[in-house]
Amino acid sequence: MSLQIQIGDITIHRIVEQEAPFFDPLAFFPTLQKEVWEQNLAWLQPRYVDPASGKLMLCIQSYLVRTPHHNILIDSCVGNDKPRPTRPFWHMLKSDRFEQGLAATGLAVSDIDYVMCTHLHTDHVGWNTRLENGRWVPTFPNARYLFADRELAHWTQRHKENPDAYPWVTDSVLPIVEAKRVEMVKSDHALNDLVQLIPTPGHTFDHYSVQVGKHGQDALITGDMIHSPIQARYPELGMMADFDSKQAGETRRKVFGRFCDTSTLMCTAHFPSPSTGRVTRWADGFQFTDA
């Protein structure tokens, strides 16, 4: 399993917290027709779909991007000790895989300069915090956490209306705000000439992806603008947790149209290992090929 990618003078490490069959595809993609799904199973199995359970094979992971200037953690998985009553496989997790994965990169929590959350869903914010003497404290003591301003406002408001429905905002987002570690940015923010946020709205209100590297030697850390290569084949196919599936489909068409048939490496959040690849055209959609 490839966990390290070199692109010019940038190194990208994958830190995998979980990799397993997770969701029933017809529930995960609510508008997916059974016949269409079955027509595609030949290429989806066994890598993207577990033949035994019929469930989608998914990774939960972070990308650690090392540039000559900064160590940047993009998305922070599910985290430990977090109550997630509606998701048994994430509820009160006690796993050493994230910490072991981070240690394998040769870096410690204190070496992380920035934590970027592509969006504020439960499986992208978990290790933002850890439990210390009964309190949620920032896991990365020297990091600034970059949240898109409208994404943070959106979740803060929803949480205010119904805190019990959004436990990850309680334990993994608001403690970072209270600790004054947040840097609120626009979702097209440029950190410098090597790290550029790209707005990819739809899955959530103000979702961003992160382009790293220089022209011709670059990668796009997609976050959840895509969950499975069947959404490349059919860009309009929405997933169950989308804020606006129509907008998410328009985002996929736009982003894949821009990066297909280029050398840009797509680093997806949830595709099974190696999770990275390149995009080419396929009929009126797109094909994702491992790389």
Asked if 224 interacts with Zn ion (CB under 5 A), we say yes
With b for 16 or more beta-carbon neighbours within 10 A and e for fewer, the 251-281 pattern comes to bbeebbeebbeeebbbbbbbbbbbbbbbbee
Bridge pairing between strands 114-116 and 71-74: parallel
In sign, the C-alpha dihedral spanning 122, 126, 132, 138 is negative
> Judged by CB under 5 A, does residue 151 bind Zn ion?
no
Task: For residues 199 and 197, give the distance between their C-alpha atoms in angstroms, rounded to a whole number.
Answer: 7
Nearer to Zn ion (CB atom), residue 159 or residue 270? 270
For 219, the 3-state DSSP assignment is: strand
Q: How far is CA 285 from CA 34, 115, 130, 233, in A?
A: 19, 32, 41, 5
| Residue nearer to Zn ion on the CB measure, 80 or 118 | 118
Looking from the CA of 86 toward its CB, the CA atoms found within 13 Å total: 7
Task: Kindly indicate which of the ranges 106-114, 121-129, 193-201, 258-266 contains the residues binding Zn ion, using the contact rule CB under 5 A.
Answer: 121-129
Q: For residue 114, what are its two tokens?
A: 């920035």
Q: Contact region for Zn ion (CB under 5 A) — 50-58, 120-128, 204-212, 243-251?
A: 120-128
Minimum distance from CB of 46 to Zn ion (Å)? 22
The pair of structure tokens assigned to 80 is: 């430990």
Closest approach, Cβ 121 to Zn ion, in A, equals: 5
Residue 123 interacts with Zn ion (CB under 5 A): yes or no: yes
- B/e letters for 62-80, b = 16+ CB within 10 Å, e = fewer, are bbbbbbeebbbbbbbbbbb
Q: Which of residues 33-92 bind Zn ion (CB under 5 A)?
A: none
**Candidate segments 108-116, 176-184, 205-213, 218-226, binder of Zn ion by CB under 5 A:** 218-226
Q: Which CB atom, from 123 or from 206, has the smaller least distance to Zn ion?
A: 123
> Which among 139-147, 162-170, 223-231, 280-288 is the span making contact with Zn ion, rule CB under 5 A?
223-231
- Closest distance between Zn ion and the C-beta of residue 223, in Å? 8
Give the count of residues interacting with Zn ion (CB under 5 A).
2
**Closest separation in Å from C-beta 137 to Zn ion:** 24
The SS3 of residue 229 is coil
By C-beta, is 171 or 224 nearer to Zn ion? 224
Taking CB under 5 A as the binding criterion, the range among 1-9, 116-124, 174-182, 243-251 that sits at the site for Zn ion is: 116-124
Q: How far is the CB of 58 from Zn ion (least distance, A)?
A: 9
Nearer to Zn ion, 17 or 123 (CB): 123
What is the C-alpha to C-alpha distance for residues 117 and 105, in angstroms, rounded to an integer?
Answer: 20
Considering the complex, what minimum distance in angstroms separates the CB of residue 96 from Zn ion? 21
Cis before 274? omega within 30: yes
Which residues of this protein are in contact with Zn ion, per CB under 5 A?
123, 224
